[in-house]
A and B are shown apart, each in its own frame.
Chain A
Amino acid sequence: MEWTRQIGRYIIVMVLQVLLFNRLQMGGLCHPYIYVMCLLMMPITLSHSADMLIGALVGLAMDVCCNSLGIHMAGCILLMFIRPYLIGVVVNDKDRLNEQISLRSIGFEALVKYVVILVILHHLTVFLLGAWSLSHIHFVLMETAVSSLITILLIIGYNAILYK
């Protein structure tokens, strides 16, 4: 049941990502990657290695959709690697980690810290690898700041509406 919901969310979010968010062309700085929401909200019930493998597959699927072979994959693997450690640090009440990670299960403060850190980390990795050099570094940092902000707001907004 839990995993049907996770996969259902993944399909809907990927369709939105590829057909809507990837097509937003707002001034070059705004590329929100909301598909990371699926990875962020996955419950911590599988092993760490299995989590990273899922991250790799989700990233690869995204890469196929944006002609960026390997870039999203690298970002998602890193995200899934850091995730359990970060959960250990930011979440106080660890009773409900076997259900999906949402506003309801870990609370507002922990959710904000968790989402902000992981989204910025993922976006920075993706944009840095995409540029493949440091000569556009100021552009990459601006791009990370703007895009992360949009992604973070969307993920927290989604939680606030559905998992109050």
Chain B
Amino acid sequence: MQSLLKILLRYSNFLVFIALEVAAFLLISLNNAAPRSSLLSTANEVVAWQHEVVSTVNSYFSLRHQNDLLAAENADLRNQICAMDSAENGYALHYVDAKVVQMTTDELHNYITINRGSKDGVMRGQGVRNSEGVVGIVRTVGRNYSVVLPVINTRMNLSCRFAKNDYIGTLQWDGKDSRFASLADVAAHMVVNTGDTIVTSGLSPVFPEGVPVGIVESSQLKEGDSYYTIRVRLHTNFKRLKYVEVVQNAHQTEMEELTNGMD
């Protein structure tokens, strides 16, 4: 017994090292598998507040560009009102505007923090877009802030379709360039042209159908492959992202419960 204690004491530093590393790896695997805690991420009030202060100062430097975007968006919204008057689209959608307080664009796992949280009705799984196109999906919700998983994260899979013929594909990101993503699962019998428009498929309740995603930059069909390699130029300029909208679908919970009930 005494010799066991001696050994434990002798290697106590190494044991502390192992214990701490095990704790770290547990946190990593938790973070990779399940929804992250809002306290231990940038949805954390203190960290997000700091970022918000800095981005408030930063935002003055891009006012001109933001004004252009807002003007364009206003025009777009007016068009949508006209379209809605003529045809009821069947979705019960509500948009919540949000400001980006922190984001990365050139890591493998990029995240965006926005200044809207559960008190504004934001929930995990809601879509996020801006006037240019899709941005991502809400992953973690704090009271005042949320973390969004953008399409430029290697963990993201987004169901999309060609605007011209409704053919479905999956949008993925290779971790290299925030301007481009790739479209997988497009079979060889499809005719893909450079410049084809890609929009959201509307197959999941996250985004309504037809939110702009990007255009085909190049497509390649290697000898013997049954699927295309398609490079998509994203409409959303992530490097200058400042304002986004969270898409809240009144039927989302019901639709998800139905789908989950099928398993």
Note all chain A residues with C-beta closer than 8 A to B17: 52, 77, 81
Note all chain A residues with C-beta closer than 8 A to B25: 70, 74
- Measured in the bound complex, the distance between the Cα atoms of B37 and A60 in whole Å is 13
Q: Which of A78-122 contact B (CB under 8 A)?
A: 78, 81
In the complex, A59 has a CB within 8 A of chain B: yes
- Measured in the bound complex, the distance between the Cα atoms of B40 and A63 in whole Å is 8
- Measured in the bound complex, the distance between the Cα atoms of B25 and A131 in whole Å is 14
In the complex, B184 has a CB within 8 A of chain A: no
In the complex, B253 has a CB within 8 A of chain A: no
- Interface size of B as a range: 35 or more
Q: How far does the Cβ of B220 sit from chain A's closest Cβ, in whole Å?
A: 20
Binding stretch for chain A, among B61-69, B81-89, B101-109? B101-109
Are B175 and A136 in contact, CB atoms less than 8 angstroms apart? yes
Binding stretch for chain A, among B28-36, B117-125, B204-212, B254-262? B28-36
Are B27 and A67 in contact, CB atoms less than 8 angstroms apart? no
Q: Which of A13-29 contact B (CB under 8 A)?
A: 18-19, 22-23, 25-28
Which residue of B26, B32, B36, B42 is within 8 Å of A132 (Cβ)? B32
- Measured in the bound complex, the distance between the Cα atoms of B228 and A7 in whole Å is 55
Q: How far does the Cβ of A34 sit from chain B's closest Cβ, in whole Å?
A: 17
Closest to A19 in B: B54
Q: Which of B7-26 contact A (CB under 8 A)?
A: 12-13, 16-17, 20-21, 23-26
In the complex, B194 has a CB within 8 A of chain A: no
Are B27 and A31 in contact, CB atoms less than 8 angstroms apart? no
- Interface size of A as a range: 35 or more
- Measured in the bound complex, the distance between the Cα atoms of B27 and A60 in whole Å is 10
Are B13 and A28 in contact, CB atoms less than 8 angstroms apart? no
- Measured in the bound complex, the distance between the Cα atoms of B20 and A81 in whole Å is 10
- Measured in the bound complex, the distance between the Cα atoms of B106 and A131 in whole Å is 13
In the complex, B134 has a CB within 8 A of chain A: no
Q: How far does the Cβ of A35 sit from chain B's closest Cβ, in whole Å?
A: 14
Which residue of B12, B41, B176 is within 8 Å of A69 (Cβ)? B41
Are B107 and A28 in contact, CB atoms less than 8 angstroms apart? yes
- Measured in the bound complex, the distance between the Cα atoms of B47 and A63 in whole Å is 11
In the complex, B111 has a CB within 8 A of chain A: yes
Note all chain B residues with C-beta closer than 8 A to A31: 107
Are B28 and A129 in contact, CB atoms less than 8 angstroms apart? yes
Contacts A49-B13, A53-B20: A67 and B36 contacting too (C-beta < 8 A)? yes
In the complex, B44 has a CB within 8 A of chain A: yes
Contacts A70-B28, A74-B28, A136-B175: A65 and B20 contacting too (C-beta < 8 A)? no
Sorted from nearest, which 3 A-B pairs have the closest CB atoms? A70-B27, A28-B106, A70-B28
